[in-house]
Structure 1
């Protein structure tokens, strides 16, 4: 028999953003319904952030064994047991899963419905045989891998991020189509675990990051034995006795690659199919549901967050947007998104982190009215001690020292970028970072050193030298 529920808040999708809204709403005591058709925790927990970082950690452990002779420690070549690597990945997912589980959210006070939801009116939904009428609805259905229309691709077995972690055999030769963060991360991880890896990119790999630092990273990946090919056209894909054959064109040259495994990492598409948005009158397009700066859709009382809303496709972006919705929908505060200080990280080794404007973007907006300063990890004592000197901290600022953007290539760049997130969010100047005291020896000193570079010319310039000489003559 069908049932009817009247709720204050109904959330569709139990990924990062949806869970954040549901958790707050339930704990505030409003009637909350959470609908999820798949696994609790969404893409990040099950097929994205968590398993990928666990796999990367295993790969980095193998790389550490190989590089241990640099420190005078002879450990021999690592022996990779891929079954145990997979077990490690799944153990990490299982350890985190209870935090996102149905049981936990029911304990918080939410009613959880495990079914596919669709709109039947502006604020009305149906999930299985349950009819839900809600004062506020939040669509947080995420995204899925975008599979390009490559001839023959539908006739071979290929992986996306949704299936690569279920792979039971270490690839002999992994061909990755797509040179973005997912493709590059998985390329290095599999190479370090022992696979031969080729990356095929139609344009420029890591195109959204600072070009100088991205090029440095790509050269490092080449030195690790990863074959990275930019400006490649995928002509077709077909089955081969040895696995999967990929026919590619590079300029006027056509060649054939044979892979044991194929990973397609060419972007994401919003999960809007099946929602029947037209029945609610919700505007949407190819990039997802159309929202304003308060994450409101075209229908009053309906919000959309995360990948389905067509904005930045990061787990932390979805969580941030969830906070915006909570303030608007529950506290009636006119909060708006501000992506000036939204960071992103590519978890290679070394990591590549970015917040704010890149140098190229800053010059497009501000022309020559910017200053670029940097500090190499080769000059950082902690990085030297740990033999992790590749990369640098690169800061883009206005001529008055106001920080516009930061890019970091180096060890733990994802951690180091956070001070620059704060600097941009709080409109700090380089003097605020340069004047802070950093413990010695730490990697964080690289940020202080980069900020200090902004003042080097004036500090040691002609005027300062004259002033100090004049002061030295005083009794």
Structure 2
């Protein structure tokens, strides 16, 4: 006889754990199912270990400018790749261990088995079946390797395997210039690995604005070897692989596949839900409720393919957890979109991207900023690069979105998202202080450009007159 639960959650990553936090507010009769390693994608193979490696690479890269600073001897410094990777793994284990420790209070609710659907309320766990009034799918995403490359798998590293490397290879090809490709590719290059990056598009870090995408591609191409075209694996060599792009060929020790991740739906037997699946096996679901069709099934986190970033996955877990326990479906308004790539300079998109604005047919004006000649950026050797394009509605100049590549861009993206969330007009934004000298100062140029293009005129400078009697 099957065990009965109010809610079953498949997947103990960020979305699944956040769903558990919401579900437990409503019922103690739930179960969390996961047969893989615990600790969340972010802590084990994503956000955290990659930033640990990037921090080392960026600090070591500063040595190349020490002569200009007037500091001698830096050229004698040598990165010990084995010790670097050991430190990264140590930090990784600490982060993922913290997540597992947080689960200790409800480990009696965790089943370490693989789940498949028998119907919308029943899961096959291999040696038992369980039934649940609602089921949350939070199985995350997985790296994708095309079938034609599988014969070379011994020399291929995906993003789930990268941080298990005991040391770094001497040469590596990186396929893809998205967030992971540019982050790890640049870090590897700065640590002395001979890197060849192959990108199908002339962009980097997910930028969609054609002007900014081309600028970013050209900028990173000056630092490391980037080829534009379709990546190929042509065969094995005595020590690795021969890879190609167009008519060009290289021999490398390893290939890092950074062409994206796919929702982890393949092993769930979703055909038993009796709903339509698209070509990638994704069922139709409501992005505001996360409900699959009219079934008691919900898709939360990276598995739904909407926005594969941690805070969005956490929000999805809360939404799915709430609706899985509620009598009626509640629709939720999402936060201002925000994505950051931790390259150097940072790449970020806040609010609507250029692509989203274009596809939605939204009218906008644009202001541009540059860090190439900014005094503060020039003081920090190697940082005087970057541009931003900020989009605003043409009436009062309320910000719609922004794409940027900038030093300290991770912080500016948050400020821009905050302005969008507060629905500030350009007049209100220009009423805020812009300190000198800081990298954020460059944004003022973009805001002033927007102010000259909107239909509601803005006089400069903007100062708030204090009402009442002046004080001596």
Q: TM-score range by the shorter chain?
A: 0.7 to 0.9
Measured against aligned partners, the alpha-carbon deviations of 1:11-45 in whole angstroms (never above 9, x if no partner) come to 11111111111123235553331111111123222
| Corresponding residue for residue 398 of structure 1 | 393
In the TM superposition, what whole-angstrom CA distance separates every residue of 1:158-177 from its partner, at most 9, and x where no partner exists?
A: 11101121122322111112
In structure 2, list runs of 5 or more residues that go unmatched. 462-472
- Partner residue of 1:89? 88
Count of residues in correspondence between the two structures: 454
User: Any gaps of 5 or more consecutive residues in structure 1?
Assistant: 466-475
Offset of 1:348 from its aligned partner? 0.7
CA contact (8 A) 2:4 2:130 kept: yes
> Are residue 197 (structure 1) and residue 192 (structure 2) matched?
no
Instruction: Give the CA deviation at 1:89.
Output: 1.1
Structure 1 CA distance for aligned equivalents of residues 258 and 293 of structure 2: 32
Compute the displacement of 1:287 (Å).
5.4
TM alignment of 1:438-453, pairs within 5 A: 438-453=434-449
Deviation at 1:261, TM superposition (A): 1.2
Compared CA separation, residues 464 and 98, structure 1 to 2 (3 A): closer
- The more displaced of 200-209 and 71-80 is 200-209
CA positional deviation for 1:183? 1.5
- Asked if the contact 2:9–2:33 (Cα under 8 Å) also holds between the matched residues in 1, the reply is yes
Q: Is the 8 A contact 1:201 1:232 kept in 2?
A: yes
Decide whether the 8 Å contact of 1:392 with 1:410 is kept in 2. yes
Q: What is the CA–CA distance in structure 2 between the aligned matches of 1:119 and 1:363, rounded to whole Å?
A: 39
What pairs with 1:297-312 in structure 2 (closer than 5 Å)?
297-312=292-307
Runs of 4+ that moved beyond 6 A: 461-465
* Aligned position for 1:412: 408
Displacement of 1:396: 0.7
Partner of 2:371 in structure 1? Answer: 377
Match of 2:158 in 1: 160
Distance 1:381 1:363 in 2: 34
Q: 2:312 aligns with which of 308, 317, 325?
A: 317
Q: More deviation in 123-132 or 256-265?
A: 123-132
Residues 255, 408 of structure 1: CA spacing in aligned structure 2 closer, same or farther, 3 A cutoff? closer
**Greater alpha carbon shift after TM alignment, 378-387 vs 117-126:** 378-387
Mapped pair 1:342 → 2:341: no
- Give the secondary-structure state (helix, strand or coil) at the position aligned to 2:97: helix
Q: 1:298 to 1:69 in 2, by over 3 A?
A: same
Deviation at residue 332 of structure 1 after TM alignment: 5.6
**What SS does the corresponding residue of 1:409 show, helix, strand or coil?**
strand
Residue 468 of structure 1 is matched in structure 2 by: none
Do the aligned partners of 2:141 and 2:303 also contact (CA within 8 Å) in 1? yes
Match of 1:218 in 2: 217
1:377 touches 1:392 (CA, 8 Å); kept in 2? Answer: yes
- The corresponding residue for 2:272 is 279
Choose which of 270, 284, 287 in structure 2 pairs with 1:290. 284
Deviations 1:212-258 (A, max 9, x none): 3333332232222x211112352x42111242112432xxxx23211
In 2: Cα distance, 1:130 partner to 1:351 partner: 49
Cα 1:21–1:446 change in 2 (3 A) is farther
Rounded to whole Å, the distance in 2 between the matches of 1:174 and 1:220 is 20
**Structure 1 residues 67 and 132 mapped into 2: Cα distance closer, same or farther (>3 Å)?**
farther
For 1:128-207, list aligned pairs within 5 A: 128-150=126-148, 153-154=151-152, 156-206=154-204
Structure-2 residue corresponding to 1:469: none
TM-score between the two structures when normalised by the length of structure 2: 0.86
Shift of 1:51: 1.6
| Aligned 8 A contact 2:44 2:95 in 1 | no
Q: Is the 8 A contact 2:208 2:355 kept in 1?
A: no
The alignment partner of 1:450 has SS state of helix
The answer to whether 1:429 aligns with 2:428 is no
Shift of 1:272: 1.6
- The one-character-per-residue Cα deviations of 1:241-293 (angstroms, maximum 9, x if unpaired) are 242112432xxxx2321101111222222212221222333543315332112
Alignment partner of 2:146: what SS?
coil
Please state whether the residue corresponding to 2:63 is helix, strand or coil.
Answer: helix
- Farther-moved stretch of structure 1 (52-61 vs 421-430): 421-430
Which residue of 1 is the match for residue 248 of structure 2?
255
More moved, 430-439 vs 264-273: 430-439
Taking the aligned partners of 2:334 and 2:53, their CA distance within structure 1 comes to 29
Shift of 1:378: 4.2
Show the counterpart of 1:237.
Answer: 234
Between 1 and 2, higher relative CO (CA 8 Å, sep ≥ 6) is seen in 2
SS of aligned partner of 1:336: coil
1:51-101 CA-to-partner distances (Å, cap 9, x unmatched) read 212111111121122223333333412311111111221122122123321
**TM-score, structure 1 normalization:** 0.86
RMSD of aligned C-alpha atoms? 3.0
